[in-house]
Amino acid sequence: MSLASNILTLITFLPLVGMAIVMLLRDDRPIKQMAIYWSLLPLALSAYLWYAYDTSAAGFQFEQFAPWISLGSNYGINYHVGVDGFSVPLIFLTCLLTTISLWYSAGVIETRVKEYFALFMLLQVGMLGVFVSLDLFMFYVFFEIGLVPMYFLIGIWGGPRREYAAIKFFLYTLAGSVLMLLALISVVFNTQSFSLVRGDMISQFVSPAAPIPFLSNPTGTAAMLAFLGFLVAMLIKMPSFPFHTWLPDAHVEAPTAGSVILAGVLLKLGTFGLVRVVMPLFPGAFRSLAVPIGFLAFTSIVYGAMVAMAQWDFKKLIAYSSVNHMGYVLLGLTASVVAVSSAKDGDAQTAANILQARQAGIDGAVLQMYAHGIITGALFLLVGMIYDTRTHERDFRKLGGGLWRTVPRYGTFLIVAAFASLGLPSLAGFVAEFLVFNGAFGVALNGNLPFLILTGLSVLGIVFTAAFILWKVIQMLLLGPQNEKWIGTPDLKRNEMLMLLPLIVYMILYGVYPRWILDTIHPTTASLVTTMDTVLNAPVAAEAPAAEPAAP
Amino acid sequence: MSNLSASLVQFSPELILVIGAAVLLTVDLVSNGREAGQNAIGLGTILLALVATFWLWPGGLFTADGGLFATYIDGALVRPGAFVSDGFTHFFRMISLVSTGLVWVSGVTFMRGRTPFRGEFGAFLLFCATAMNLMAGANDLILVLVAIEFLSITSYVLTGFLRENARSNEAGLKYFLYGSITSAAMIFGLTYLFGATGTTSLPLIAEAVRSPDNLLIKDLSGVIIPSLLLVLAGLGFKIALVPFHQWAPDAYEGAPTPVTSFLSVGPKAAGMAVLLRMFFSAFDAPLLTPHWIGLIGLLAGATMILGNLAALGQTDIKRLMAYSSIAQAGYMLVGVASFGATTMGNLTALGTVVLYILAYIFTNIGLFACIIAVDHATGDSRVDAYDGLMRRAPLLAVAMVVFFLSLVGVPPLAGFIGKFAVFSAAVTTNHTTLAVLGVLTGVIAAVYYFRVVRAMFFRPAPDGAAPIRISPSASFVIWACLAMTILIGVLPGTFVRVARDAAAAVHATGADAAAVDAGH
């Protein structure tokens, strides 16, 4: 019963215990304090988890395994948790943002306090559960659990259109996940295993790893349908164009802490699902649709940025910038599976370059998940701090300008976070985007013209992002003549700065020394690419006959 | 001689129920309508019948010698009994008794003061339970018919039980008229079946249907398909399948709320039991099965779509639940249409339906226990009456959310396990269209369920609304159903085994499923 073998279970279910305790308390103040202090437990454990995570060891770590639902003689559903380099940073991010969100909420939530904090802790269980699950059934269960508390958080404590936003969020995500359920069933039916440990992955409990589904025909109808089931669920959760329309409503109407968690963690469930489930299970199908998916990534990047530029509402602008930023994640991940022509006849050096670029794509994508979590989390907090307790105004035209002079400390925090969102070098966002484009170009230049064009056009997204950050956030809001209406607005208090500080520190830290996190991510990236290649390299022979007629 | 006494022992749950109902009526007569002891007698009877069922259960199959009251001449079986007491029967006996008992308990407070005839009400519930038990084990067309009629007539009376209430009367009459017509259709269909096979015994019908020489069977569209259609009309009425569902919303709305609760679980499960036994054993023939699979698939699709779409427009929660339970029957039929599947946990298609019913029963009874409590306190069943329920009765509001989520199929709750099972069967047998239709209509269901959730949590309670007091009996049912809904969801292993064993009893009497599977 050592800590190492139980730590993931503890982290995941401690919030549930906290929720039970909160339900038993009567008064608002103890409830708030209890929730905040309790959330420090999983936070401390998740920090320890990252510290103790061995970046040089292969495979999943801190695993725990127990049969859950026995289904006949040869297989069943298991309680199987474990972490790798993708999930460790995201678990820490989840715990950090939850603590900050609870802390922030304690200051602004005055109605139905007990329900709020109880739901928030339930939400945390759902998010953490997704990151630690190594069983498809468990993954699905946790993927769904988060839906319900978020629905209530938006619907009860949200803005004026909260009821509409809440049900829209709920239905969209539910529609995605029920299709995933059918895909899940077909995967299990195909391979007789619920395990997420597939292909070349290493786990001490599932050995040998379960087979990759549809191996005999990775792009057949059954495989493609199952792939699309999972993909659409993830694209809705991310969200990617054209499934993003729930996001601006949900983000704008959600209470500040809800937006922080929504943008900071819930969107990552979608992209994490891509690296944990979709890519290892369906590399072949993913490759065959890589260019259309790349097109969705491109559209999310450029369209998201352009729509963000058109917003006058601060919160809505940040919301649409999430569509843009999550587009980079999708682009980076797609780059790692895109088929290139020189891979077949190239020399060893070309092959090494391609491999390096594919890994950079995934590294960048995962880093972007983390970076977007801290950056957008900070930005939503900043929106909340000015709107909830100070001005009750989010319109740039009425809020600006000269806010920096009015509230200098607020301005300073905002400008760092805004520049990080823009992708300024030396801040976390830049490293991630650089790696994504490095990977995407590196792969595409080796012979995939459509993907090269999409990647090239996606660069436009950076320009638009810079434009809306500089124009709206920096110029209209912070600079310019001082808006007399807001003179006398109190600046950030000490506890508010303390909430923002860790996020700002991480933005700078990962900007100047990204190896700190990339060392954790990269080995897992490498093993993911290896796992995918066992499938991707197989169909090369099958592709050859189709390519040959053109040669003679 | 020994056969008769053994048969009577196997028949003990039903005997206990009939005796209990008679005692209840007598006591009611003697005690002049006072409540004293009625609940003890009624619930004691149900409990005793349940104990008898569990006592018989490990015995498993009693079909080896042809079922109860079989006819032997010189030791040879000439005619199988009209009633079998196998694992499948036991399972549906349990469902029938548990749902009757829970409905009884959840309705105790509600019926008090609304009708002076509480003894008769209880007796009719016990008669209903008897009828459902008979349907669970009916192995002969005559008994199928008698049991269904028995259940129908008792249900009509229960629906129209509040004589002073015009809505209740109207509901009872509608239910009766509609039921009479579908019963007539079903009897007509059964005569065709008798004509084609020359017998009313299900095992003998199974033999005749599988016989390659029977010309009447070979000519599918001449006799057997019309007869199947008519039988489906009769059963579809009990289960409330589209297009035989029109009675349901009116009957559900007008009936006393505990009876609504009962209608949504008891007759539906019993109807499914008859349907499952008939189709999976008697009508299971290589030539015939693909046809009824297609037919059931069509009904399933129509039921899921229409049930869920029609529920969208409802403003009365009892009507809403009527359409919801129509839609739920559609999901059960998805499992039936997936005949031939063997999915996770060696659960056959039949097993998945059984599991779904188990999950549905507890969820729906729990939900209705909440609705009964609200109706009892406010006398109002409009969705608007649920405004601010979270303030007025947190237990009811939270419990209702859990039950709604279970009906939507959100994990880790019972309804999810049921949906997971039937959709697994559908995917396994390549009924992908049905599965996709099923999950997407499930999203529609979330729309109307969450309209109630919205009222309960997002809307303020009307001015001056007092907290709602929940009677101990109602809260017992709610907690029990909550526990089961979560238990089936979190630890489904045992329930999967139960469903598998129940299904195995029918498969043992059906044609070799694998052979049929290979045929299509």
pLDDT digits (tens, 9 = 90+) for B348-399: 889 999 999 999 999 999 999 999 999 998 888 899 889 989 888 999 999 9
Between B419, B428, B493, which is nearest A70 by CB?
A: B493
Kindly state the tokens that stand for A52: 């103790």
Please tell me whether residue A218 adopts helix, strand or coil conformation. coil
User: What are φ and ψ of residue A363, in 5° steps?
Assistant: -55, -50
With 90 as the cut, is the pLDDT of residue B148 above it?
Answer: yes
Distance CA A303, CA B244 (A): 50
Interface of A with B (CB under 8 A): 69-72, 76, 115, 140-141, 144-145, 147-148, 151-152, 155-156, 162-163, 166-167, 170-171, 174-175, 178-179, 181-182, 185-186, 188-189, 225
Tokens of A290: 């890589």
Instruction: Kindly report the average pLDDT of chain A as a whole number.
Output: 87
Interface with chain A: mutation pick from B439, B444, B498, highest number of A CBs within 10 Å: B439
Residue type, B448: Y
Domain ranges, ordered by start, for chain B? 3-515
Q: Which residue has the tokens 């997002």?
A: B458
Segment B122-141 shows an average pLDDT of 93
Calculate how close chain A gets to B1, using CA atoms only, in Å.
42
Pair A468, A368: CB distance under 8 Å: no
Asked if A503 and A378 touch (Cβ cutoff 8 Å), the reply is: yes
Which of A362-376, B72-86, B314-328, B492-506 has the weakest average pLDDT?
A: B72-86
CA B83, B86, B87, B93 dihedral sign is: positive
Identify from A16, A130, A177, A178 which residue to disrupt to test chain B contact, counting B C-beta atoms within 10 A and taking the largest count: A178
- For chain B, give percent helix, strand, coil, nearest 5: 75, 5, 20
Contacts of A154 (CB under 8 A, 6+ apart): A162, A165, A166, A169, A250, A253, A254, A255, A258
Chain B interface, Cβ < 8 Å to A = 343-346, 390, 401, 405, 408-412, 419-420, 423-424, 427-428, 432, 435-436, 439-440, 442-443, 446-447, 450, 454, 457-458, 491-493, 496
Encode B416-437: b = buried (16+ Cβ within 10 Å), e = exposed: bbbbbbbbbbbbbbebbebbbb
What's the rounded Cα separation, in Å, for the pair B398 and A526? Answer: 46
Q: How many helices (H) and strands (E) does chain A have?
A: 25, 2
Would you call B447 and A171 a contact, using CB atoms and an 8 Å cutoff?
Answer: yes
Model pLDDT, residue A110: 86
A167/B412 CB distance under 8 A: no
Element (H, E) at B22: helix B12-30
At residue B251, the pLDDT reads 92
Cα–Cα dist B241/B336, whole Å? 13
Residue type, A269: L
Alpha helices by DSSP H, A238-347 = 246-253, 256-261, 267-273, 279-281, 283-288, 290-309, 314-335, 342-345
Report pLDDT for A550.
40
Distances (CA, A) of B273 to A202, A470, B67, B194, B290: 47, 68, 17, 21, 20
More confident: B286 or B48: B48
Q: Searching chain B, which residue's CA lies closest to the CA of residue A76?
A: B345
Inter-chain contact B458–A148, Cβ cutoff 8 Å?
Answer: no
Sequence-distant (6+) residues with CB within 8 A of B517 are: B340
- Residue of chain A whose alpha carbon sits nearest to that of B491: A69
Exposure string of B444-460, with b = 16+ CB inside 10 Å and e = fewer, is: bbbbbbbbbbbbbbbbe
Distance CA A472, CA A312 (A): 8
pLDDT at A542 over 50: no
| Chain B: residue whose CA lies nearest to A168 | B447
Mutate to test the interface with B, among A23, A111, A181 (most CBs of B within 10 A): A181
Domain ranges of chain A: 3-341+350-536
- B238-262: pLDDT as tens digits: 899 988 888 999 999 999 999 999 9
Given a cut of 50, whether residue A544 has pLDDT beyond it is: no
> Does the pLDDT value for residue B224 go beyond 90?
no
Alpha carbons A429 and A417: distance in angstroms, whole number = 10
Residue appearing with tokens 């229960």: B158
Distance CA A39, CA A11 (A): 10
Contact B424 A185 (CB under 8 A): yes
Backbone φ, ψ for residue B348 (5° rounding): -80, 170
Nearest to B427 among A69, A171, A189 (CB): A189
Residues in contact with B3: Cβ distance below 8 Å, sequence separation at least 6, in sequence order: B65, B70, B72
pLDDT at A515: 87
Task: Identify whether the C-beta of residue A82 lies closer than 8 Å to the C-beta of residue A60.
Answer: yes
Q: How many CB pairs under 8 A join A and B?
A: 84
CB atoms within 10 A of CB A204: 12
Chain B CB contacts of A174 under 8 Å are 408, 410, 443, 446
- DSSP reduced 3-state for B201: strand
Please list the alpha-helical segments (H only) found in B138-224: 141-159, 166-197, 202-210, 215-218
Q: Dump pLDDT digits (tens) for B175-210.
A: 999 999 999 999 999 998 888 888 888 888 888 888
Inspect the interface and report whether the beta carbons of A145 and B411 lie closer than 8 Å: yes
Nearest alpha carbon to residue A194 among A131, A281, A272: A281
Mutate to test the interface with A, among B407, B408, B457 (most CBs of A within 10 A): B457
Q: How far apart are CA A19 and CA A22, in angstroms?
A: 5
pLDDT band, residue A345 (cuts 50/70/90): low
Does the distance separating the beta carbons of B346 and A71 come in below 8 Å? yes
Neighbours of B264 (CB within 10 A): 29
Whether A494 contacts A301, CB under 8 Å? no
Partnered with residue A65 across adjacent β-strands are: A80
Residue of B390, B411, B450 lying closest to A144 (CB–CB): B411
Joined together, the tokens standing for residue A3 give 């800590």
Tell me the three state secondary structure of residue B291: helix
Of A72, A145, A147, the CB nearest to B346: A72
Our CA dihedral for B338, B342, B347, B349, rounded to 10 degrees, sits at 10
Query: Which of B408, B423, B458 is closest, CB to CB, to A155?
Result: B458
Contacts with B514 (C-beta within 8 Å, 6 or more apart), sequence order: none
Which positions in chain A touch B414 (Cβ < 8 Å)? Answer: none
Comparing CB atoms, the residue among B346, B439, B493 nearest residue A179 is: B439
Assess whether pLDDT exceeds 90 at residue B479: yes
Residue B513 confidence (pLDDT) above 50: no
What pLDDT score does A344 carry? Answer: 65
- Tokens standing for B119? 């003894």
Separation CA B78–CA A86 (nearest Å):
69
* CB within 8 Å: B411 and A140: yes
**Residue A73: pLDDT band with limits 50, 70, 90:** low
Q: Considering only the beta carbons, identify the residue of A163, A186, A189 that sits closest to B458.
A: A163
> In this complex, do A178 and B343 lie within 8 Å of one another by their Cβ atoms?
no
Higher pLDDT, A156 or A57: A156
Contact B440 A178 (CB under 8 A): yes
Nearest CB to A171; choose among B443, B458, B496: B443
- Minimal CA separation from A306 to chain B, in Å: 32
Chain B nearest CA to A66, separation (Å):
13
Q: Collapse the DSSP code of A241 into the 3-class scheme (helix H, G, I; strand E, B; otherwise coil) and give the result.
A: coil
Q: What is the number of other CB atoms lying within 10 angstroms of the CB of residue B271?
A: 23
Contact A170 B450 (CB under 8 A): yes
Q: B308-349: per-residue pLDDT in tens?
A: 999 998 999 999 999 999 999 999 999 999 887 777 777 888
Strand B71-73 to strand B76-79: parallel, antiparallel, or no bridges (unpaired)?
antiparallel
Overall residue count recorded for chain B in this entry: 520
Q: How far is A448 from chain B (nearest CA, A)?
A: 35
**Contact assignment for B440 to A69 by CB distance below 8 Å:** no
The CB density around residue B178, as the number of other CB atoms within 10 Å, is: 19
Instruction: Decide if pLDDT at A108 tops 50.
Output: yes
Contact between A72 and B440 using a beta-carbon 8 Å cutoff: no
Q: Please tell me whether residue B515 adopts helix, strand or coil conformation.
A: helix
Question: Quick count: other Cβ atoms within 10 Å of Cβ B149?
Answer: 17
CB B135 within 8 A of CB B89: no
Contact state of B446 with A174 under an 8 Å Cβ cutoff = yes
Tokens of A31: 């409830």
At residue B415, the pLDDT reads 93
Does position B411 have pLDDT exceeding 60, yes or no?
A: yes
Q: What is the pLDDT of residues A405-415, one digit of tens each?
A: 888 888 889 88
B491: chain A residues, CB-CB within 8 Å: 69
Q: Do B423 and A181 touch (CB under 8 A)?
A: yes
